[in-house]
């Protein structure tokens, strides 16, 4: 089954430009209660996933960095510690399983590597659950 069935388009998601500030990311993640958020470059291409851990490591490893001056740090200055490999929109659901074990969502890109949305781990688990229940009913 094609992942388009599980796909959430980026218009319905929260994501940030990698040139945004650390403070903007902290505030957006707090407001939406997210622990990770996709990043895009100026061309809309997927540029990685920023996590709470990435923000904490930056804070820990930058002397004199406080919440107040996080407005001076750009997200492209923060090391990303988790590589969330995206999948192409034409990928199959089976292509998501290994990725979903390690990450809450799988970024989805088009032919030009532009971020167009994601598949959430919850959707994958619900799909698998339905398949298991269906198999049990057929026995």
**pLDDT higher than threshold 80 for residue 139:** no
Domain count, the chain: 1
Structure tokens at 69: 């001056």
Over the stretch 70-128, which tens digit does the pLDDT of each residue have? 999 999 999 999 878 899 999 888 888 888 888 889 999 999 999 999 999 888 888 88
Structural domain containing residue 104: 3-138
| Helices 22-32 & 52-61 angle (0-180, nearest 10) | 140
CB 118: neighbour CB atoms within 10 A? 28
Residue 68: which CATH number? 3.10.580.10
pTM of the model: 0.86
């Amino acid at each position: 089954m094609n992942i388009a069935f599980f796909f959430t388009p980026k218009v319905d998601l929260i994501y940030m430009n990698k040139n945004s500030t650390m403070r903007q990311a902290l505030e957006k993640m707090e407001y939406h209660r997210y622990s990770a958020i996709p990043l895009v470059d100026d061309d809309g291409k997927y540029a990685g996933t920023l996590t709470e851990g990435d923000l904490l490591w930056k804070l820990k490893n930058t002397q004199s960095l406080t919440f107040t001056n996080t407005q001076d740090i750009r997200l492209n200055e923060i090391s990303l510690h988790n590589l969330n490999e995206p999948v192409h929109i034409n990928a199959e659901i089976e292509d998501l399983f290994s990725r979903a074990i390690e990450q809450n969502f799988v970024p989805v890109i088009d032919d030009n590597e532009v971020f167009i949305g994601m598949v959430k781990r919850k959707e994958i688990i619900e799909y698998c659950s339905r398949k298991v229940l269906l198999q049990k009913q057929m026995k």
